[in-house]
Amino acid sequence: MAQIIGGPGRTAGEVEGRQLAILETNPWRWVDAAMFAAALVLGPAARHSERALLWAFSCGLAGALWLLAGASGLAAALGRWTGERIALIAAGMEIALAAGSGVAIGSALPAAAPWRSAAESAAAAALALAAGWRASGAVAGTRRIAAGIEGERETARALAALPDGYVVLHDLRLPDDDGRCEVDHVVLGPTGAFALETKRWSGEVAPGPEVWTQTSRHGTAQHPSPARQLERARRAVARALGAPPGTVAPVLVLSRGRLADGAAAPVMVTTPGGAADAVARAASTWPLAASPRDAARALLAAAR
């Protein structure tokens, strides 16, 4: 059997954490703002309750620390540690920041108003609805991350069946011109060097120059071209091996979908079950003077 190095899916949470740290692109910022406004209205009701104020300040502090983690780049490290749960953690911290800071600040506002009780009831309902909506979005994000990880694991299980002489590396982060490039799988062996990217897209997939269109029972969705992502991956692998980019063959694995009838893709496209056969039957040979094991050591050294 092939020699296996690393485990699939470890960078998924890290990538998600890095994206969550970019506040300007957070699609939930308006929901967070609504929660803060509702909590602000509730603030005066908490001004005479030490327990409520302690809760508010504690939640606000936790949320502020989350923002600090995102600003300092620690969110990516937290994502690597928490994996697919990072979306739930992020939602919890956003809810804590919006609700806690809103109540804490609102507690300093005057409480005398004839309509205060009705306003606070409405604000409490709005806060609960917004928090529930945000949490439901986090659950969907968690499922998406988990699905992506499972797709990579399917490919990993198939590649493990390659015969002796092959080395399979999973989840590498290799340096390139844009920083670090995540490569799902790299296979090194008698038939050549391969960079594989797994996408858990269902239904039919139609390739395009810039975007690929996915059509499934859930509707139509467009994704940035994975061929461009694979080109970046294979260049990063080739650079780490000290070889020309053409030395590394790109392979796209669709774990739940297939190419649309008559569609032509600029890269090899296969399924998890066919990934090992695609590698083993490739019409190429090992292109480097160094052995596959030595090449794997070079990749691991570059990924540190």
Give the span between the Cα atoms of 229 and 181, in whole angstroms.
9
Domain chopping of the chain, boundaries = 12-150, 161-302
**Over 60: is that where the pLDDT of 43 sits?**
yes
- The three-class DSSP label of residue 250 is strand
Identify the residue with better confidence: 216 or 114: 216
- Whether 210 has a pLDDT exceeding 80, the answer reads yes
CA 274 – CA 44 distance, rounded (Å): 63
Helices (H), 27-73: 29-42, 50-72
Provide CATH code, domain 161-302: 3.40.1350
pTM equals 0.73
Between CA 234 and CA 228 the distance in angstroms is: 10
* pLDDT greater than 60 at residue 22: no
225-260 residue pLDDT tens = 999 999 999 999 999 999 999 999 999 999 888 888
pLDDT at position 15 over 70: no
Q: What is the pLDDT of residue 20?
A: 59
